[in-house]
Amino acid sequence: MEEMNINEMKEMVLKYVIKEYIDDDDVTITYETPLISSGYVDSFSMVSLLVFLENKFKIKIPPSKATPEAFDSVNSIVALVNQYLEK
């Protein structure tokens, strides 16, 4: 895939999170919003986000790294993805 800067990655992940998980139009999600600890995303629903990231960025995230903590905000998700992109 084409080289993406960090903000483009965040924007892409944010768009996916809103489309996939947020039903309420009143809810505003930012890069910092806690997703799992605030109850917007339940830990069971993370699998589709994992599949999305792996397909989109052509990476493989080991299950041990796909933790609720690592997936708790767009910022932390993109940081995780970056670790595997760099390798």
Partner 1 sequence: MSFPESIRSIYQAQLADIQHAGIFKEERFIHSAQSADIEVEFPSGSELKKVINMCANNYLGLSSHPDVIKAAHEGLETRGYGMSSVRFICGTQDIHRELENRVTEFLGTEDTILFPSCMDANAGVFEAILTSEDVMISDRLVHASIIDGMRLCSAQHDTFKHSSMEHLEEKLLLHADKRLKLVITDGVFSMDGDTARLDRMVELCEKYGAMLLVDDSHATGFIGKTGRGTHEYCGVFGKIDIITTTFGKALGGASGGCVSGRREIVEMCRQKARPYLFSNTIAPVIVSGVLKVFDILSANTERRDKLEKNAAYWRKGLTEAGFVLREGNTPIVPVMLFNAKLSQDFSKDLYREGIYAIGFFFPVVPNGQARIRTQISAGHEIHHLDRALDAFIRVGKKYGILGLTKDQIIEKHGL
Q: Which residues bind partner 1 (CB under 8 A)?
A: 23-24, 26, 38-39, 42, 44-45, 47-48, 51
Provide CB contacts within 8 A for 42, sequence distance 6+: 36
Shortest Cβ 27–partner 1 spacing (Å) = 9
Judging by beta carbons within 10 Å of its beta carbon (0-12, 13-18, 19+), is residue 66 exposed, middle or buried?
middle
Half-sphere exposure of 57 (CA within 13 A, CB side): 28
User: Which CB atom, from 10 or from 57, has the smaller least distance to partner 1?
Assistant: 57
User: Which CB atom, from 10 or from 33, has the smaller least distance to partner 1?
Assistant: 33
Shortest Cβ 7–partner 1 spacing (Å) = 27
